[in-house]
Structure 1
Amino acid sequence: MRFPRVKPEHAPQRLGDGTIRLGGAMFGLATEIHDADGHAWSALTLMDGTRAPAEIAAELLAGFAMLTQEEADELVAALLASGHVEETAPGPCDELGEREKERYSRSRDYFRWVDLTPRDHGWEPQVRLKSARVLLIGLGGTGTHAAWSLAASGVGRLHLVDPDVVELSNLNRQVLYTEPDVGRPKVEAAVERLRRVNSDISVTGEPLTVDGPDALARLIDGFDVLALCADRPGEPDGIRTWANRACARAGIPWVTGGYNGPLVSVGVFGPGGPCFACVRAGIPPQPGDGYAWPGVTGMSAGLSGQLVAYDVVQLLTGLSVTPPGYFHGLSLLDPDAHVFARYPTRSGCNFCY
């Protein structure tokens, strides 16, 4: 970095024992530095965007007589690599046009906050989204919210699959449809809406019933991530089992989600973690298992869809902080009841990554 500065959202705090906390503990990004001699605190204070790294090291040497040149250089380098520091005057990003930069400017602000990888210009996660290819199956409550969010986020190619037509009872939660759409194929209406949301990406679709593992395996060919928002056929040996096998063989990650009444949960699976079947085997059966019960509101559907989209974006941008192979979620009736389930690979599993 030419002129580093601490990200304003990561402003350092100095605790009473001399420990420095960067990133904010409540955001899950905190880094603690034990700094009894004050070297790190001084270096962070000097990282205000007006000095080059060599100048910061030189001022440290001038302020601390016992500090060596090697120690000063190592300290500055470690702070630059921590992810809590950014370039004051970032380099150019030629992969995005000015229209795209304006459209995604708030996304960039979010990514630079949560991204702990040093970047040249901060647009790198958005560039990854632009080149990404996502297959989304199921345009119901979860799927319509997920599809809207992925399109708005700038996923470069989004392909939608659903065999159904819009019904009046869908309109309490399926965000892409309106009353005039009743009777239309869901794919037709959804593609039309999403192209109006974001004309800078490719949105396609087909009114197809996924009727077996071979059909699903053909669909995922050429895509980077599967967003599985369909719930039929249910488990055991249903569409999620098909996805588990097909995605494992193809070596691509996938996300699935939905709602069981007030319980909203999402599963994330892919290379580096246990598969769907192994994680699910550790979860006790529950009413509505498999997202099959009909009770749903626009809010519960919206939360499940947005969580699916969020996890897809995390996988595509490389910003995931938890390796794949888990379910997570929440209960709308109990704000303290957060869901996180992760179980190890079972002996002899043929599909774990």
Structure 2
Amino acid sequence: MRFPRVKPEHAPSRSSDGTIRLGGVMYGIASEIEDPDGWAWAALTLMDGTRPTDEITAELAKRFTELTPEEAGDIVATLLSSGHVEEADPGPCAELSEREKERYSRSRDFYRWIDLTPRDHGWEPQLRIKAARVLVIGLGGTGGHVAWSLAASGVGRLHLVDPDVVELSNLNRQLLYTEADIGRPKVEVALDRLRRLNSDIEITGESATVAGPDDLDRLVDGFDVLALCADHPREPGGIQTWANRVCARKGIPWVSGGYNGPLVSVGVFGPGGPCYECVRAGIPPQPGADYAWPGVMAASAGLSGQLVAHDVLALITGILPAPPGYFHGVALLDPNGHVYAHNPSLPGCEFCS
């Protein structure tokens, strides 16, 4: 970095014993540095975006004569690699237009906050999103929110699949549709709405039923991530099982989510972790476990869709993704009711053991 500065969201604090905390404890990205001599604190204070790296190193060695220039350089280098520091004068990003930079400026701020990888200009996560190809199957309560969120986030190519038409009973939770759309194919309406939301990306779709693994095999070809938001055919042996097997053969990560009444949960699966069937085998049977229970309101559908979209974007950007082989979510009736399920691969599983 030429002119490093501490990210504003990661502003350091120092306790009486000299311990420095960066990143904020409540966000899960905090770091603590034991600094009894004040060396790291002085270096961080100097990192205000106005000094080049070599000047910071020289000033640190000047203030603390017990440090050699090499030791001062090591302290500065360690802080630069921590992820809490950014380039105050980043270079240009020619891959994004000025329009795109304005549109996604708040996304850049978000990723700057949570990303602990030093970057050249901070637009790297958005470039990955722009290059991504995502398939969304199912445009109901969960899938509509997923498609909207991914389009708003700038996913370069979205392909939407759903066989249904809009019904009045959909309108309590499915944000893409209005009363005027009743009777129209969901894909047709979704394409119209999302293309008006973001005309800078490619959005395609088809009104089709996924009737078996062969259909899914055809659909996922050429995509980086599958967002599975359909619940038919139901489990056991339904569309989630098909996705598990097809995506495992092709090495494609996938995210599935939905709502079982007040329980909202999301599963992340893909190379490097236990597969859906192995994880699901360790969860006791319960009503609606395949996301097919009818009770839902706008908020629970929105939560499920946004959690799925978040995990898809985490897979695309590589920034704090959920490890494959996990279910997670929330129980809306219990403030402490966090969902977390992870079971190992079953012995002899042909997909992940």
Question: TM-score, normalized by length of structure 2?
Answer: 0.98
Task: Letter of the 1:74 partner, please give it.
Answer: D
Percent identity, please: 75
Partner of 1:119: 119
Q: Tell me the alpha carbon deviations over residues 241-294 of structure 1, each in whole angstroms, 9 at most, x when there is no partner.
A: 111111111111100000000000000111222111111111111221111110
CA distance in 1, matches of 2:322, 2:180: 42
Counterparts of 1:76-87 in structure 2, within 5 Å, are 76-87=76-87
Aligned to 1:133: 133
Counterpart Cα distance in 2 of 1:59 and 1:177: 61
Q: Which residue of 2 aligns with 1:339?
A: 339
Aligned to 1:88: 88
Supply the distance in 2 between the matched residues of 1:290 and 1:54 (Cα, whole angstroms). 58
User: How far apart in 1 are the matches of 2:90 and 2:271?
Assistant: 33
What is aligned with 1:155?
155
CA distance in 2, matches of 1:352, 1:212: 22
Match of 2:174 in 1: 174
Aligned to 1:198: 198
Q: Secondary structure of 1:17's match?
A: coil
- Provide the C-alpha distance between the structure 2 equivalents of 1:184 and 1:300, rounded to a whole number of angstroms: 25
User: What is the CA-CA distance between 1:84 and the residue it aligns to?
Assistant: 0.3
Q: List gaps (5 residues or longer) in structure 1.
A: none
Judge conservation of contact 2:264–2:331 (CA < 8 Å) in 1: yes
Say which SS state the counterpart of residue 40 (structure 2) adopts.
Answer: helix
Q: How does 1:1-353 map to 2 (within 5 A)?
A: 1-352=1-352
Task: Give 3-state SS (helix, strand or coil) of 1:292's partner.
Answer: coil
The one-character-per-residue Cα deviations of 1:136-195 (angstroms, maximum 9, x if unpaired) are 000100000110000000001000000111111011111101111111111111111100
Deviation >2 Å, runs of 4+? none
User: Helix, strand or coil for the counterpart of 1:152?
Assistant: helix
Gaps of 5+ in 2: none
Measure the CA separation in 2 of the matches of 1:107 and 1:299. 23
Residues 19 and 35, structure 2, Cα contact 8 Å, conserved in 1? yes
Number of matched residues? Answer: 353
1:321, distance to aligned residue in structure 2 (A): 4.4
Match of 2:337, SS state, is: strand
Write the deviation string for residues 73-116 of structure 1: whole angstroms up to 9, x where unpaired. 11111111111000001110011001111111111111111111
- Secondary structure of 1:314's match? helix
Q: How far did 1:56 drift?
A: 0.9
Secondary structure at the residue paired with 2:338? strand
- C-alpha contact 2:157 2:202 (8 A) present in aligned 1: yes
Whichever residue aligns with residue 120 of structure 2, its letter is: D
Inter-partner Cα distance in structure 2 for 1:257 and 1:322? 14
Secondary structure of the corresponding residue to residue 56 of structure 2: helix
| Structure 2 counterpart SS, 1:336 | coil
Query: What code does the residue aligned with 1:239 have?
Result: I
| Residue 322 of structure 1, CA deviation | 3.5
